[in-house]
Amino acid sequence: MNVNIYYGGRGIIDDPTLYVLGKMQEILEELRVNVARYNLYEYKNTIPTLPQTLKDADGIILATTVEWYGIGGYMQQFLDACWLYGEKEKIARIYMCPVVMSTTYGEREAKLNLSTAWEILGGLPCSGICGYIENTVTLEMNEQYSRIIEKKAENLYRTISQRMASFPASNQVVKQKVAVPKTTNLTPQETEQLSQYVSDDSYVQRQKQDIQELTSQFQGIMNEEGADSEEEYLAAFRRCFRPQAGFDADYAINIEEKKKKLIISVKGPKMECYYGTAEEPDVEMQMNRAAMEDIVSGRMTFQRAFMSGAMKTKGDFKILRTLDQIFLFEERRL
């Protein structure tokens, strides 16, 4: 019989969970059980590969310490890895005994979380141990506590050796209906290789560097395209310009998707438009590309864009209204 112990605490000296695990391991070894111990804090860079160690296990002990809230990060990472990379057919035959010692509130909830997680993975949870221990010395000196630990270890041995059945749980049905992970159609060997890549820091860093390089290249291409589009809308304004005698005004249009403002300078019969900056324009406008497209295509006027909230304006509103008189975009629809 093979039993694996997965410890998700920090490994500090006065951790009461370590004492419980040591006692259980001692009892199991006396019963001639092969016990393998995995301290997750020692495997923090290779946790995604640990589900592969479940292959030869008949039972496991998931142990953690509640120091402030919940089961802790290492144990959560291990359970996540079991969900992503573990062989569900193998997990379905493995009995799990949860062990949770707490130095604060929450040991019962943490024990329940471990059992629920293992059931959702498809495994077989057993009766576990949980308790609040303020001082590890109290746990070591109390013979009744020691007997409880011994009985739990013996019960785990009997459960595994007799392959005891258990009633089906509702979260098994829920998992089958709504919590089924997306199938990747990978062989166990490919899954193991994938989990090894995930745990390889150098490989992950290379992937991040490649992504950053591609992002930089893409941004460069986008910037080049943005520079090429600086003639956008200029032809439409030049074509639809209808001058008014004695009218002078400067407009600045900030189109959200463009880096530079569209400047329109009207001096009587002459009009200049370009992308750049203007000192103290008479009217400043701000809109997105969609609103500008509606205006130059004749579907909307500047006045209507302002009234509907599609355009924000600052400056002389009388000069703003003149825009619709000197630029007759509706003629494009004729």
DSSP classification of residue 333: G
Identical fold between 2-181 and 232-333: no
Query: Under CATH, to which class is 2-181 assigned?
Result: alpha beta
Out of 61-65, 216-220, 296-300, which region has the weakest mean confidence (pLDDT)?
216-220
Residue 152 vs residues 3, 97, 149: alpha-carbon distances, Å? 14, 9, 5
> pLDDT category, 280, cuts 50, 70, 90?
confident
Predicted pLDDT of residue 167: 77
pTM, full prediction: 0.55
pLDDT of residue 330 exceeding 60: yes
pLDDT at 32 exceeding the cut of 90: yes
CATH topology for 232-333 is Nonspecific Lipid-transfer Protein; Chain A (3.30.1050)
- Where does the chain have alpha helices with state H? 16-30, 73-85, 88-91, 107-121, 136-141, 143-162, 170-178, 188-199, 201-228, 234-239, 289-296, 302-308, 317-326
**Cα 299 from chain centre:** 42
Tell me which of 80-89, 171-180, 213-222, 238-247 is least confident: 171-180
DSSP state of 22: H
| DSSP 3-state of 114 | helix
Q: Rounded mean pLDDT of the chain? A: 84
Q: Where are the domains of the chain?
A: 2-181, 232-333
Dist CA 21 CA 11 (whole Å): 12
167-186 tens-digit pLDDT = 777 766 655 555 555 555 56
